[in-house]
Structures are given as structure tokens and as C-alpha cells.
Amino acid sequence: MSEMELYKLWSSQDLEDADLTKELEEIAGDEEAIKDRFYQTLAFGTAGLRGVLGAGTNRMNIYVVRQATQGLADYLNAKYDSPKVCIGYDSRIKSDLFAKETARVLAANGVTAMLYGQLMPVPCTSFGTRYMKCQAGVMVTASHNPAKYNGYKVYGDDGCQITDEGAAAVLANIQSVDIFTGVKTMDFDEGVAKGLIQTVPKEVEEAFYQAVLSQSINADLCKDAGLKVVYSPLNGTGNIPVRTILSRIGIDDVIVVPKQELPDGNFPTCPFPNPEIAEALDLGLKLCKEVKADLMLATDPDCDRVGIAVPDRDGNYVLVTGNEVGAMLMEYICYTRIERGTMPEKPVAVSTVVSTAIAGKIAKKYGVEFRQVLTGFKYIGEQIHFLEEEGHPERFIFGFEESYGYLVGTHARDKDAVVGSMMICEMAAYLKSKGVSVLDFLESIYHEYGYYHHVQQSFVCEGADGMQRMADIMDSLQATPPTEIAGLKVEQIDNYITHESKNLVTGEVSKIDLPKSKVLAYHLEGGAKVIIRPSGTEPKIKAYYTTIASKKEDAAAQQKELAADFSKKLGF
């Protein structure tokens, strides 16, 4: 059907959500608005669904959610006997509604829906899926996207994001389901009465807390450290879990940013509720100065990412990047586990190809096997699965990605800002007991391993034209790869699309032993690096710059030159 035909079809339905009816009426005659809502079906992949809330096939609404859930139910029923699904949701607009709609469709298909009774972080859905031996998990969230977005994230029975194979099978089912007439639904109360919709037992939440606490290395230091923490859940799910964990390790002086404490999917104080973005932390930074905090934590709405800020010698608060926190946690975990005698045999740490290479140097120093995987925490979770299959999941000591995602332990198979917050605070308490500041610790790492400067640059490409532009950019770079960037020669190109790595100096071509992904990496003379990839969850194409120098200023200056030239090459 054409966009206009789909619009007329939707407009002719007796829609159950009045907001959708109103929206369709308001865009009558607006061809661009109609096209944007109906030019495609919201893509379902290994990240599930993510899109703008509203009416249409290219929007997040109860009909798109129901259709996706029908596809998931058909997949589960074909693969398992009496399957169960763990369902979680965050504070976003309509998240609770979408979670209940998911439960209704599952129940109608004979699939037991285990629904959390209140909003919960992403790692709790991953954990709950595993703990309750469910065959899948669904988390209603759009992570750190602006308020107009929501999403639907699917996990496999291992608590990791659904595999490419599984996602393809679910997608095939979805495509065979008519969005209005092909979906089975059951009244919610009927589902509860029949035992097909159940509330996740409280014991699962407590088990999650215990699993997180078990990862602590030096919790005994926290109570007497006198650490003062300012915390912002950014109006999301982290408020209760993070504060509960910090209290249990003895950190009680936690001051929550008042306007960002309670759940609110409108995110009134931060249009981009992302701890990677400085503006989201403004209120917290002001509060830090008022109370003279030792540390600021901020978790995103679904509490799988955590950002921090710490004071410098002048009392100003400095934001620390995800790469820097990852490097510090790697150093802290390796050193203190060896110090405590708790380092496992043949330890493994995992990070992504776009994250800091300094982690590899730290791992080498401590005799830790360092594995690099594609972007996306599911690939880190996959490495835990491999270790589990070998009978040694305890070998996994740490996983992280540059976008503020960390995991210590194997209780979850996704980023966990609850355990991340605990480990960051514990590290700060440990350093404080030694008379060392967080920034001094970071500088000592750079002094030992070299100064690694990392910056991510995002180029927004919204709508149908934007999607095409991203595709054109990646095609152009493959057809005519750059030979230099900002005057630095390209010495090697890693093409994750073709699985080939080519050394331009020697002409040698080698295979990249990772799954296919839309990623291109350029290794430049002197150790600098530029990576580009389209985002899988946002209308953006992202560039990652790495520069290495003995001085911070030199690395930063070189990165700015790279970004300016590469942006020009991309046409931005």
C-alpha cells in the first residue's frame, strides 16, 4: 500500500487509543507528515523496536507493539513448550501501557507473561529472564533517547539481546501478521485470573540486589569513607535500585537532584536524558557545588548507563567520559582483585571496537585476556555465554563500552548502571582511603599507558531522506575510501561489512573474525584512528576519533583536526 492508502486505512479504524485518532485527524492533508508516519514499517532487529511515539506503521503505538508481540509469541510457541516471558518497562510515556499490551497478546497466545509490578531498570529484565527461567524477555524502553521516543527490546532465554537469527525469525512472523486483524489479545484481568499474566515475585528483585552486591570487592571500606554523592536518575528507573544498593554498602550520604528524582517520561529538565550529554547533568553539577560532593552519578531513564562528575583541585566539577570510567574500573578491578586474592584463573575482560584501546594495555599488564567485539552490549553478553558454555563464567571480570555502559558479574547480560554505580562509588571510596582523588587516579593511568583522547561525533539524519543519506555515505566510503584524514595517511582499513582488513602499507589483506556489521575503521599514521557507523537505534551516523599523545593538549588538538576534516569529507 502507498502511504496515503495506509493513512486512510488507519483513519478508518476504531482505534483504541484516542491520542492516535486525534493525531491522524490533525495531519489530514499534510502529505509530508503522512509520509513520515507511513513510508516504512518500524524496523524490528536485534535491538527490537525503537521510534517516535504516534500513529502509523513508522511510529511506536499499541498496534505496532501488539504486532511485534504476536510475532514473538508465534516464534516462542514454535520453539518451546509452555514458554514464559519476563516483561519490564521504564518511565517513558506509555511504557506501562505497552508493557500491559505485550502481556495481553502473550497471554492470548498461551504464553505466560511475568510482568514487573513497577518500573524497573533494563538489567532487572535481563536478570529476571534468567532467574525465572523464561524463554524470552521484553523491556519497554528507548534508553537515552528524547521524550518523544519509546521502544521494545527483546531478550533471549540467556538474558542477552535476541540473536540475529532469532530476530530474523520474529521479523518474518511480524511481516505475516496483519496489524489490525492478525493479532490475538486477551483482557488483562482475564489473563491474570487464568494465571497467564503474573506479577514478578518480590524475591526476584531481592535476588537481583544480592547478585549485584556479590560483585563488590571492597564494600567494607565504603561505610567509613565518608563519601558524599549527588545522584540523578534523570526521571527514570534508577532512583530506588541505585539508592538501595549504595545504602547496603554503607554509602548513605546520597543527595538526589530534586527535579530529576521522580519518574517522568517528559524529562522536563533535560530534553536529552543521556548522561553522555553535559546539559542533562547541569542541575546535578549545581547541586554538587552547593553541597561539595565527592562524586556525582547520573543514570539514564532505563538505568543501563551511568555517567559521573568529580571535583578538581579548584573545586570545579569535571565530567568523566565513558572510556575514562571504563579504564579506571578496569585498573581498579584488576589491581584490587589481585590484592584481595579473588582474581580467577585466566580472567577475561571484554570491550567494543569503538571503545578505548587503553583497556587492552591495562589487561595485558595484569595478565587478563582482552576481547574486543562489535558495538552493542549483546556482543559482550555473548562472550559471557561462551565462557558459560565452557563451564567457566567466573572468568569474566568486566565488560564495558564507551557509551557509559558497564557490567561486572554475570547476573545480567546487558549494561547495568546499578552495579556500575556501586563499583564507581566503591572505587572512589577506595581511592579516598588512600588519599587519592579520582582525577589523580585517572592521570596516573594516562601517565603509565599514554594519553588516549576519545571523542564521539554524531550527525543527525532524520526521516526517509536521512536514512538514504546514511546509506549513501557508507556506500561512498566503501567505493572511494579516504587515503588521508587531516593530513595523516590511512595505513589500514578495517571493513566490518566485508569482513576484510587491508594494510595499505604492505597490501596484506586479512579476515575480520567478527559478525558482519556496518562499521568502517581507519587506522592512521601515528596511532590515531577514525571509525564510522550508522546507529542502530537512532537516526544518526556516528564517528569515533582516537588520538594518542604524551600530552593531553596535543591529543585534543589532533582530534579536532581529524573531526573537522572528516566531517567535511562526509558532507556535514
The residues assigned a catalytic role are 143
Whole-angstrom distance, CA of residue 262 vs CA of residue 458: 30
**Helices 202-213, 239-248: inter-axial angle, 10-degree rounding:** 50
Distance of CA 568 to the CA centre of its chain: 29
Residues 530, 565 contacting (CB under 8 angstroms): no
Dihedral over Cα of 555, 561, 564, 568: its sign: negative
Element containing residue 24 per DSSP (H, E): helix 18-26
Q: DSSP letter at 260?
A: G
Comparing C-alpha atoms, which of 393, 426, 428 is closest to residue 412?
A: 393
Beta bridge partners of 222: none
Cα–Cα distance list, 521 to 32, 387, 518, 537, 558 (Å): 36, 28, 10, 20, 17
Whole-angstrom distance, CA of residue 88 vs CA of residue 103: 10
Beta bridge partners of 485: 488
Burial class of 480 by CB neighbour count within 10 A (0 to 12, 13 to 18, 19+)? exposed
Beta strands at 348-352 and 451-460: parallel, antiparallel or unpaired: unpaired
C-alpha cell at 191: 489473563
Dihedral over Cα of 52, 57, 60, 61: its sign: positive
> 191-197 long-range CB contacts below 8 Å, 24 or more apart?
191/103, 191/104, 191/107, 191/108, 191/113, 194/107, 195/112, 196/106, 196/107, 196/110, 196/111, 196/112, 196/113, 197/103, 197/104, 197/106, 197/107, 197/112, 197/113, 197/115
* Residue whose grid cell is 515475585: 201
